[in-house]
Amino acid sequence: MPRDENGSVAEAAAPLPKWAHPNITATGETRAQVPLVNSAGRGATTLWFNTGTLCNIACSNCYIESTPRNDRLVYLTRAEVAEQLDQIAERNWPTREIGITGGEPFMNPEILGILEETLRRGYETLVLTNAMRPMMRPRVMAGLLALRDKYRDQLVLRVSLDHYTQRRHDEERGAGAFKRAWEGIAWLHGNLFALSIAGRMRWDEDDKKARDGYRRLFRRKGVGIDWKNPKRLILFPEMDEAKDPPEISTGCWDILGKSPQQIMCASSRMVVKRKGAEKPVYLACTLIAYDTAFELGSTAAEAERPVPLNHPSCATFCVLGGASCS
């Protein structure tokens, strides 16, 4: 039994609980980290802006728990976005793409100015939207048409259409959601916007069956979206949070045959502004929005630091995906 210098029995150090220490796992191993380094260099190739968590609807499986009342992440302003774009340019980040997410981005009163700001600097800009009422207001439609005329395919809209049947889509998003989304999709398609569709695979269908369902829907609706192209029809597999996933130590990379560069936080960051906060902050990724331990600071320089994989989502969604490295 260990004794201290006075000969008393020393108290054994209490074991760490899982996910408690940024650098050490519960079993005492060195926790894995992901540096912001990728094949394009140091810095994010994709920078996301969460323009606010408010949404016009409340989907049953929204990963960020958006609703018409959830304003935990408040609206970003054009000036706040511009300031961060200045910073990443000063630091020579190899950023090619700006992603705009929410909530529903078209709820943000400054969304058109934010898009102008990212597009005029030459970034490909991807907006994730439900294409419903917030996008279909006359002021927003007019602004989008002007941006399309000026920037063409540099602006891409990705519309969520969870399933190719009205029943399944409305099951997730509420009665009438499918019809409203189609009004938006038809308008975007008819006005020649660069457009993609995001579906979910949570109904025991394989990729082939789901694509075939969308193919039939697109034909019925008369829209020529390339259902075979995974960049035009993106089908997200459903991944439930595992109950008690293992922690990720540095030894896992070799065991799994993976490298830190393959993980999303090696090439992206997300800027958010919390309710009541003075400034926006950088988060490690889009998947962990509310855990303040994943804040990296309010400047691009601070956001360059490596991310310790200290969250169950890191194991479930990014590193293990059902595998084990124990």
Relative to beta strand 41-42, strand 295-297 is unpaired
Question: Which of 43, 52, 99, 102: binder of ligand SF4 (CB under 6 A)?
Answer: 102
Q: Tokens for 270, please give them.
A: 């997300």
Determine if 314 is a binding residue for ligand SF4 (CB under 6 A).
Answer: yes
Given the complex with ligand SF4, which of 148 and 311 has the nearer CB atom?
Answer: 311
User: Shortest Cβ distance from residue 185 to ligand SF4 (Å)?
Assistant: 14
Residues ≥6 apart with Cβ < 8 Å to 278: none
Site string (125-154) toward ligand SF4, x via CB under 6 A: -----x------------------------
Please report, in angstroms and rounded to a whole number, the separation of the first and last CA atoms in the chain. Answer: 29
Closer Cβ to ligand SF4, 44 or 85, answer by number: 44
Structure tokens at 315: 């194991």
Number of residues that bind ligand SF4 (CB under 6 A): 26
List the x/- string, 234-263, binding to ligand SF4 by CB under 6 A: -----------------------------x
Helix (H, G, I), strand (E, B) or coil at 216: helix
Number of other residues whose CB lies within 10 A of the CB of residue 326? 10
Instruction: Dig out the tokens for 209 from the structure.
Output: 């069956």
Candidates 43, 103, 184, 213: give the one binding ligand SF4 (CB under 6 A).
103
Q: Contacts with ligand SF4 in 26-55 (CB under 6 A)? A: 34, 55
Asked whether position 66 contacts ligand SF4 by CB under 6 A, the answer is yes
The pair of three-digit structure tokens given for residue 101, joined into one six-digit string: 């997410």
Identify which range of 20-28, 42-50, 91-99, 306-314 contacts ligand SF4 by CB under 6 A.
Answer: 306-314
181 sits near ligand SF4 (criterion: CB under 6 A): no
Residue 43, SS3?
coil
Closest distance between ligand SF4 and the C-beta of residue 104, in Å? 5
Token couple for 73: 């992440």
Facing residues of 100 across strands? 49, 127
String marking each residue 258-297 x if it binds ligand SF4 according to CB under 6 A: -----xxx------------------xx-xx---------
C-alpha–C-alpha distance, residues 306 and 290, integer Å = 19
| Minimum distance from residue 6 beta carbon to ligand SF4 (Å) | 45
Contacts of 72 (CB under 8 A, 6+ apart): 53, 274, 275, 290
Separation of alpha carbons 126 and 73, rounded Å? 20
* Cα 226 to Cα 230: distance, rounded to the nearest angstrom: 9
Which of 24, 58, 198, 256 is in the footprint of ligand SF4 by CB under 6 A? 58
Site residues for ligand SF4 per CB under 6 A? 34, 55, 57-59, 62, 66, 102-104, 130, 160, 263-265, 284-285, 287-288, 307, 309, 311, 313-314, 317-318
